[in-house]
């Protein structure tokens, strides 16, 4: 399998093409690139040109992950179990972008039912990394990242439970944003965790993410942040991949030498192994309730019957185990909600206060993309490690603190694979984070 070709399309490029060549020509380009689906990024296409609203996205196409409701498409979750599930309306963020003039010609592949970080989907094929097709694109929003990286669409909406907008963004060299939990309106999503889930946009640049966010959430613009910034740096997971570590050393050196930026080295044991300590319990317990009700109310079947129709063995096994897990973890879940989450959020706020921080920063992912097939275990410089917790070690934090988190493209490692810097602010400081993301992106590109 050869390289499909990387020609990312920013919003500015999409608008220029629309204005020079026409909106019909832009749709034709999207459909042509979507038709070359050797990377399995695309689940379905809609070739008819829609009537679009007047607005800043007039006649601009975007993609939607196939666990988000978007008419006229089915919402399949990438699973045969939902191949004919038709939503009644668009998810609210999709609707707001359509009101701004955008339209959706493609639904995008994902880790089945968004329950994983490789996007190795047994029903639709593994989403392949655009820089090395033997490697995964990341997940669960893998189709989004690959489609954006090769210029099928300028941006896409994904979802993020444990890192699913930011991990594939990191592996595919684009920008991915997880907003503060609750920032975007609820509804119209095949949910895993009511505590941790959110829709989040993915795009070529942080500037494009800022524009998309402003179209989804109307609020006054923040004043330009001070030139003087204090950024706390977390590097607890170094040592797993020499190419990534070397590249990230260069990223932090470049950032630390930029005018007005002070880096503060941090060690925060409270942030280690969050999923193993209580994050997984929250997701699995809540997923049991959500999907038991969904199977009954939407499909008229039991959770066990629904699980048997899931194609990917890893996801099918999780769903089959959910009843036993929920029964065993009920007390742990109650403790996580009542104590562990509030304690973590207090520690997070105290870290910012004690060190007078504007942001914290860390590698989005501390390893290169796993090879396709490394679903359970992956090779690292420290030997075999379990894939999910190794890849998602850093991205879990924001999903539990509720803070906004941004994966910023940060160049390439010595093997020609993308690396990514993740920055996070206090909950509610989304516009502030996106503004600083643009500044940092310019520094790293300079």
**140 an active-site residue?**
yes
For 106, phi and psi rounded to 5 degrees? Answer: -140, 140
Residue 16 makes CB contacts below 8 A (sequence gap 6+) with: none
Q: Identify the H or E element spanning 383.
A: strand 383-386
DSSP result, 39-60? T--EEEE--SPPP--SSTTTT-
DSSP result, 313-330? HHHHHHHHHHHHHHHHHH
Residues in the chain: 446
Burial environment of residue 24 by CB neighbours within 10 A (0 to 12, 13 to 18, 19 or more) = exposed
Structure tokens at 252: 């932090």
Given a contact cutoff of 8 angstroms between Cβ atoms, the answer to whether 50 and 58 are in contact is no
CA angle 286, 289, 293 (to 5 degrees): 145
Given a contact cutoff of 8 angstroms between Cβ atoms, the answer to whether 327 and 288 are in contact is no
Cis peptide, bond prior to residue 226, ω within 30 of zero: no
CA distance 105 to 264: 45
DSSP H helices, 83-192, are 92-99, 142-149, 166-172
Catalytic residue among 107, 119, 141, 164: 164
DSSP H helices, 112-258, are 142-149, 166-172, 206-216, 242-256
**164 an active-site residue?**
yes
Catalytic residue among 98, 107, 119, 140: 140
At 108, is the secondary structure helix, strand, or coil? strand
CA angle 60, 63, 67 (to 5 degrees): 150
Q: Report the 10 Å Cβ neighbour count for 102.
A: 25
Q: Which residues are catalytic?
A: 65, 140, 164
């Amino acid at each position: 399998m050869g390289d499909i070709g990387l020609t990312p399309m920013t919003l500015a490029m999409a608008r220029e093409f629309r204005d020079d060549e026409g909106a019909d020509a832009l749709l034709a380009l999207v459909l042509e690139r979507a038709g070359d689906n050797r990377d399995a990024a695309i689940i379905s296409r809609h070739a008819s040109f829609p009537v679009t609203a007047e607005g800043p996205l007039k006649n601009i196409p975007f993609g939607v992950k196939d666990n988000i409701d978007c008419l006229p498409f089915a919402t399949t979750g990438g699973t045969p179990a939902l191949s004919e599930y038709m939503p009644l309306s668009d998810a609210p963020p999709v609707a707001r972008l359509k009101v701004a003039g955008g339209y959706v010609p493609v639904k995008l592949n994902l880790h089945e039912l968004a329950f994983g970080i490789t996007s190795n989907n047994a029903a639709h094929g593994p989403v392949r990394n655009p820089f090395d097709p033997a490697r995964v694109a990341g997940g669960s929003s893998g189709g989004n990242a690959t489609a954006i990286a090769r210029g099928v669409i300028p941006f896409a909406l994904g979802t993020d439970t444990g890192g699913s907008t930011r991990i594939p963004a990191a592996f595919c060299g684009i920008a991915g944003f997880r907003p503060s939990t609750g920032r975007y309106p609820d509804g119209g999503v095949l949910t895993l965790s009511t505590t941790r889930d959110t829709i989040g946009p993915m795009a070529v640049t942080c500037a494009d993410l800022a524009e998309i966010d402003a179209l989804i959430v109307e609020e006054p613009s923040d004043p330009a942040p001070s030139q003087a910034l204090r950024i706390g740096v977390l590097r607890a997971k170094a040592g797993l991949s020499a190419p990534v570590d070397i590249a990230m050393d260069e990223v932090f050196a470049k950032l630390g030498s930029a005018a007005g930026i002070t880096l503060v080295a941090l060690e925060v044991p409270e942030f280690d192994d969050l999923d193993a300590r209580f994050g997984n319990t929250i997701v699995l317990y809540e997923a049991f309730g959500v999907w038991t009700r969904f199977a009954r109310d939407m499909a008229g079947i039991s959770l066990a019957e629904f699980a048997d129709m899931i194609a990917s063995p890893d996801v099918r096994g999780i769903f089959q185990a959910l009843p036993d897990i929920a029964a065993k973890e009920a007390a742990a879940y109650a403790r996580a909600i009542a104590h562990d989450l509030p304690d973590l959020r207090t520690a997070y706020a105290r870290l910012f206060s004690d060190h007078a921080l504007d942001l914290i920063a860390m590698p989005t992912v501390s390893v290169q993309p796993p090879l396709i097939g490394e679903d359970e275990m992956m090779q690292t410089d420290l030997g075999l490690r379990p894939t999910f917790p190794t890849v998602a070690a850093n991205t879990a934090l924001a999903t539990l603190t509720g803070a906004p988190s941004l994966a910023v493209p940060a160049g390439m490692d010595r093997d020609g694979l993308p690396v990514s810097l993740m920055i996070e602010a206090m909950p509610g400081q989304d516009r502030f984070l996106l503004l600083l993301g643009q500044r940092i992106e310019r520094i790293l590109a300079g």
